[in-house]
Structure 1
Amino acid sequence: MHDVSAHRLSVAPMMDWTDRHCRVFHRQMTRRAMLYTEMMTAPAIVHGPKPRLLDFSAVEHPIALQLGGSDPTELAQAVRIAEPWGYDEINLNCGCPSDRVQSGCFGAVLMERPALVADCVRAMQGETDIPVTVKCRIGVDEQDPETILPAFIETLAGAGVRHIIVHARKAWLQGLSPKENREIPPLDHDLVIRMKQRFPELTICINGGITSLSQAQALLDQGLDGVMLGRAAYHDPASVLIGADALWGDAFAPDALAVIDAMRPYIADHLAQGGRLHQITRHMLGLFQGKPGARGWRRVLSEQASRDGAGLDVIDRALAERHARAA
């Protein structure tokens, strides 16, 4: 049974960041938050190395697979392929502004083609019993969000979508880089709150510019069903993920050292299979963000984790360096 409450807090899909190692690391800090894969394109899943793209650890549940694409048949095929992996949700990306994405006609450009999105969603739903959700922007380019967003949501609801995550910024498909698109278009949290009031029967979650648990709680208090954190969860994970389970009334809140200890067996297993330390520790650099000794921790991991043969002793050295600097 799908637990909608898992979306009270989620970590956004972030290209090159939220891979399986990152998600296992985040899971040591929160047992409840929904985790998302990086966006994977439907063609990559249909034609590419499936286990490498789709494998994840059981510890990562609840976990959503985010797909990019605009061909209903191909998206349905990708969902059919992914089905045996046992994801908890499939999410269609209608928010990514990258040029690479536009040329394939998916991501934010789909905000201009709601009927096509509805076709995509219906095709995806035909291949799975788990929820198919959509992540979108409030609009693109010259669109007026006040009219476009409710119409877009209404079209999705008509296609059977019950759950929408809204990144509360426009995407500018011309003239702004993907990075600028995450920072320059102004945030409009109030518009997303109004969408929840207008569509009370839908699960509406908000994304964009949320950097603290207190901010997340304030948005939940205004009636939204969930809050999705992106860069804050990556760059300063301890401050937004440790203690996040209190949003569910759960006291789970390990300290940063306990998180590292919980990662050790996972790292040892990865190394034993021929993996490299850096593939995991690159996601752990921000663990002590803003705390004494954080720079020492980051420096040792950055310099030593990618060396041949780097093992768990590098983590011990990084902790010792942090301790020495913090003393």
Structure 2
Amino acid sequence: MTRAAVLGAGSWGTTFAKVLADAGCDVRLHARRPELVQAISDRRENPDYLPGVRLPDRLRATVDPADALDDAEVVVLAVPSQTLRGNLTVWRELLPPDATLLSLMKGIELGSTKRMSEVICEVTGSGTGQVAALSGPNLAREIAEEQPAATVIACSDPDRAAVLQAACHTRYFRPYTNPDVVGCELGGAVKNVIALAAGIAEGLGFGDNTRASLITRGLAETARLGLVLGAELTTFAGLAGLGDLVATCSSPLSRNRTFGEKLGRGMTVEEVQQSTRQTAEGVKSCRSVLDLARAHGIDVPITEAVVRVCHEGEAPAQMVREIMSREAKPE
């Protein structure tokens, strides 16, 4: 039986801990707040993030990271991307030396413009083959309710990828493997930014043509940036690229799409942030994605527009006008 630790008890961390337990793993879920650990232990439910979803008996919650990480063969990191470095700095001495480190986070670090796997390697000293990333159309609530879904586990070490694949394969969750860590991580990070744009368009009252256009041109932005960073083009046509992008731009369960929709309806960034306990990764990551693109000379007009709305005070309607008035050119 694989021993797994999940660090982060938000909606996706808790959901993936359930997946691991349903796949037969012995799982310990680390949460920061004692009252949440108590609720999970007593009620077999995470009332803050997954109310109404029963968690398996094989899953045990703990407030102590050392307890969670004791003898873990797989360590799953499920914290907000901009907090990863700080959390890992605290946890790194507790990590079992040969454990496989799996990132569930979809973001680019502010300042360094590093992908999450790069931050993990830098902070822990782990080799790239020890670190994996999971990405795909993985809306937490649907998976927690055991609706069928597929995902991608990206890792340069095929043996570790296979172990992770077996550890989370259930009747409702189907993992594929892919050695293209760069492409999978980038697809997961940029789709949050494009979903903000799609949500803004929804909030402004635009329909399916607008959303489809944003999805398609957003995928082009992601692929352009990915190719210059060494990703494989085919990755962006798969689950970690188009699949994740479509789900995140289309579903009302998507935190980033919902955040953007509220912006389109006239709320400020601060007002939307105060209205939810969920993290919309794209709000912060849009700036680091733009910095990364500019550093490599890549044109990312949708990302630029989202940055202007989220961080420079531009009106959402003006964002749409500026995108539509760009110089016409071949696709």
What TM-score do you get using the length of structure 1 for normalisation?
A: 0.34
Higher helix proportion: 2
